[in-house]
A and B are shown apart, each in its own frame.
Chain A
Amino acid sequence: AQSVTQLDSQVPVFEEAPVELRCNYSSSVSVYLFWYVQYPNQGLQLLLKYLSGSTLVESINGFEAEFNKSQTSFHLRKPSVHISDTAEYFCAVSAGIRGGAQKLVFGQGTRLTINP
């Protein structure tokens, strides 16, 4: 069965500092990996995803994540954060289920707090 572990429940950083949010997964099949962001009292929005090909994937707002098969990791990074990046971030792995549907298995979430 697939599982996801986000190693940090909270990450406080100063504005314009770099940040890394760690995610490790376990899966017995080929993986599709996702990072979602959730702002307070809102739904989740897709940040980026890895399906195949280049192991480095990027989002439009400066985040990037690297798929590392040997370490079963998909860490999220940003070289310089802004106050507006304050949110909760979820890593997820896609598992195939009955009828070809998709089940997302989520990590516990990492709350990123940006301090001025």
Chain B
Amino acid sequence: DGGITQSPKYLFRKEGQNVTLSCEQNLNHDAMYWYRQDPGQGLRLIYYSQIVNDFQKGDIAEGYSVSREKKESFPLTVTSAQKNPTAFYLCASSRSGRSDTQYFGPGTRLTVL
């Protein structure tokens, strides 16, 4: 089955620790995205990548970092610089172009203790 997988589903982190969220897709999509979801705020774009070895900041990139070494993988690191990291994180992918549908993974819920 083609799709997007995210792991882990739940993640707990102590303050001051970096943590990496995994996102893998087998849809052969060029573009991949990371969103953050908070209650009542919709989804906000953290980073996106159009091709391998290239990525761009979204609206709320501070405290986050990404890499895109393979077409199918786009991991997100939440660093200790992120002041309020507790949230639901969603990864998505699409073909290139404004009209293409973004397909979402099941999400990772990160809780900072």
Q: Which residues of A approach B to under 8 Å, CB–CB?
A: 4, 9, 32, 34, 36, 41-46, 49, 51, 90, 94-104, 106-109
> Which of B41, B97, B105 is A43 in contact with, Cβ under 8 Å?
B105
The 3 tightest CB contacts between A and B, nearest first, are A43-B104, A106-B42, A44-B104
- Which chain A residues lie closer than 8 Å to B54 at the CB level? 99
Q: B100 near A102 (CB under 8 angstroms)?
A: yes
- Which chain A residues lie closer than 8 Å to B104 at the CB level? 36, 43-45
> Which of B43, B44, B105 is A90 in contact with, Cβ under 8 Å?
B43
- Which chain A residues lie closer than 8 Å to B92 at the CB level? 44
Question: Which residue of chain B has the shortest Cβ distance to A36 in the bound complex?
Answer: B104
Q: B45 near A103 (CB under 8 angstroms)?
A: yes
Alpha-carbon distance between A49 and B96 when the two chains are bound, in angstroms: 16
Q: B101 near A46 (CB under 8 angstroms)?
A: yes
Contacts A101-B50, A103-B48 hold; do A43 and B90 have CB atoms under 8 A apart?
A: yes
- Is B2 in contact with chain A by the CB < 8 A criterion? no
Given A100-B96, A104-B102, list of 7 further CB < 8 A pairs? A43-B105, A44-B92, A97-B56, A99-B54, A102-B99, A102-B102, A104-B43
Q: Residues 68-94 of chain B: 1 if any A CB is under 8 Å from the residue's CB, otherwise 0?
A: 000000000000000000000010101
Alpha-carbon distance between A17 and B7 when the two chains are bound, in angstroms: 38
Question: Which residue of chain B has the shortest Cβ distance to A109 in the bound complex?
Answer: B42
Q: B42 near A107 (CB under 8 angstroms)?
A: yes
- Which chain A residues lie closer than 8 Å to B94 at the CB level? 102
Contacts A107-B42, A108-B41, A108-B42 hold; do A100 and B97 have CB atoms under 8 A apart?
A: yes
Q: B40 near A100 (CB under 8 angstroms)?
A: no
A–B pairs, 18, beta carbons within 8 Å: A32-B98, A43-B104, A45-B104, A46-B101, A46-B103, A96-B98, A97-B48, A99-B51, A100-B50, A100-B96, A100-B97, A101-B56, A102-B96, A102-B99, A103-B48, A103-B58, A104-B45, A104-B102
> Shortest CB–CB separation between residue B43 and chain A, in angstroms?
5
Q: A41 near B109 (CB under 8 angstroms)?
A: yes
> Shortest CB–CB separation between residue B91 and chain A, in angstroms?
8
Q: A43 near B106 (CB under 8 angstroms)?
A: yes
- Which chain A residues lie closer than 8 Å to B103 at the CB level? 46
